[in-house]
Amino acid sequence: MSKDNAEKAAERAAQLREEIAGHNHRYHVLDDPLIDDHEFDELMRELTALEESFPRLQSEDSPTRRVGGAPLPGFSTLTHRVPMLGLDNAFQQGELSEFDRRVHRLAGLEQVEYLCELKIDGLAVSLQYEEGRFVRGSTRGDGFTGEEITHNLRTIRQVPLILPTPVTMEVRGEVYIGRDDFEAMNVQRRERGESVFVNPRNAAAGSLRQLDPRITASRPLRIFLYGLGEHRLSVETHAGLLTYLEGLRLPVNPHRRLCGTIDEAWEFCLLWEEKRRELPYEIDGVVIKCNDLVLRGQLGNTARSPRWAVAFKYPPEEKSTLVRDIVVNVGRTGTITPVAVLEPVFISGSTVQRATLHNEDILAEKEVLIGDTVIIRKAGEIIPEIVRVLKEKRTGAERDFRMPERCPSCGAAVERLPGEAARRCFNPSCPAQLVERIVHFASRRAMNIDGLGPAMAELLWKEGLVQDLADLYYLPASSILDLDRKGIGEKKVENLMTAIEESKDRPLHRLLFGFGIRFVGERVAQLLAEHFLTLEKLRESSLEELTAVPEIGPKIAAAALHFFEAPATAKLLHRLKQAGVNFKEPVAVEAAAGEKPLDGKSFVFSGALEQLTRSEAAALVAEQGGRVSAAVSRKTDYLVAGDKPGSKLERARELGVAVIDEHAFRELLEM
């Protein structure tokens, strides 16, 4: 290999890293991309190819390393040379005024400026840069030592691995998960039969403390940076510092205000108490800091907190209500979950009538009785939870609740496996699980059987027409007539039968996802289908062959083996095959020659479409030669706006991007 080639490769790799870092900053921090996803992927592929061809070019700060490395044996600790102290809290205006009086007294000044910032509800971290390169990162820990989580922080795409200036400093911030990302993540976990996260903060903290960085890389973590630890910078104000950090491509929260008095700071607190639900992430208050950094040094710290800052905390909205009953739900994976049935109460924007108690350990810990008066709130402003029982309001008429020893749906004995918090029903013929499995199997992202929702699934089971998933493909004509006579409607029945017949041609990954195998969500189903291509090959695979598939770990592999080794599965698959259900994944082929209607066109979708899901619309664009991006940029050709399109619509108008509705989009497809 010639020296010239190696030098050219090194120059091109450096150029690509700088270009990719810039695009990452515009996409993940500024929300103002200049190129679409396809063009970004091309840059990443070129850099990956260079690093593979020239191994000496590989480095830990390359953007190709953000997917996470091998699992770590454990976390080491890092000492904070400048302690990461906590903040004193204020809950009322009077406490802010007292903080202000104390600052003025200690500083001996008549005028003090404050910089107010939103208090992100996440996990505090420290990032250390040496000569502009990210070298170490840790959690806050006890304020003096924290866990080293460098590999996990590298996976957060907002964190620049190389700064545009070779500065050495320690920068501090908060890692969090946005509301929409949190909701989507929990949906996926439910589909895989995994326990859901209680709130975004816990999810972020748990994600950062994974010993396997690949797991962290799969979580939608984001970060805001707000201050410094050890450094030698010559900045004089906190406002100037934040502007400086932004110039280094570090993500800084834009919602901040410089205030000349504590009354102005109080107004900022009140403003965001009203507006906080408009934010795409959780905040639990406002942090008020002296803006003058020299003054901060003069004020100093107490043993546990700085004298120059205070956190004004918003109280979570809490209300009392009555526990009418405690019931259990049986999920499609057999999980038995206790649920409190509540006297309806309006809280944080909606009426709450039920609150999950998660499992029997939490039920026992909270000591909830039927008839108790309880305080509830929405964890992360999303999930209703019981905070505590008002035991002083007990009358003696309250009743204890015990988890059932048998499944309330089928009567089979329930088990609690070692190491698990939940009890489960393992009866494959359990009606409650069956109805849930039918609904999941028929869902849009699985076999997409239109018209087969919860009510229809329950009716088919009650009438004895469907006892397993394969029965859907053997419904006799006489049974259809019976359904018609029960008021379902002839046209609805015909449409259902047509949808069932059409579902036979779905690709293998949709069938795998539809089975509802524990831990096998959409992404895993796609990976397995693309790797093995046929269901027969997948069924015959060993644990070693399964774990050899990228992103498939031992837990997922064991769950898949358990499913395929079950006698009931063999019977199910035989009947599905006999019915003509497709067991193959189409092999990706190059597009046929010739121009397609949407060749080279870039689309962004925003808001809910009436007739298509996002994934269906994206697939149609791809079939016609177009591309779909996540964000609007100058390269976007069309924004398809559905119901409640959000900020992307405003961005499209700013950039002069063509905005079309679903009807016009479908017309484009038919050109």
| Active site members | 119
CA pair distance 658, 667, nearest whole angstrom: 15
Q: Is 340 exposed, middle or buried (0-12, 13-18, 19+ CB in 10 A)?
A: buried
Choose among 523, 313, 498, 328: nearest CA to 410.
328
Choose among 222, 137, 127: nearest CA to 167.
127
CA pair distance 293, 244, nearest whole angstrom: 14
Q: Under 8 Å CB-to-CB from 518, ≥6 apart: which residues? A: 192, 193, 333, 559, 562, 563
CA pair distance 427, 91, nearest whole angstrom: 52
CA pair distance 562, 109, nearest whole angstrom: 71
> Phi and psi of 374, rounded to 5°?
-130, 160
User: Tokens 């929300």 — which residue?
Assistant: 31
- Chain mean position to CA 664: 31
Choose among 374, 334, 335, 336: nearest CA to 354.
374
CA pair distance 582, 523, nearest whole angstrom: 19
DSSP 8-state symbol, 128: E
Rg (CA), the chain: 28
CB pairs under 8 A, 24+ apart, for 590-595? 591/625, 595/625
CA pair distance 369, 391, nearest whole angstrom: 10
* Tokens encoding 321: 């209500």
SS (H, E, C) 146-168: EEECHHHHHCCCCCCCECCCCCC
Task: Find out whether 9 and 54 touch, Cβ atoms under 8 Å.
Answer: yes
Task: Find out whether 175 and 256 touch, Cβ atoms under 8 Å.
Answer: no
Task: Find out whether 221 and 155 touch, Cβ atoms under 8 Å.
Answer: yes
- Please report which residue ranges of 313-430 form alpha helices under DSSP H: 360-366
Q: Provide the sign of the torsion angle of the four alpha carbons 90, 96, 101, 107, taken in this order.
A: positive
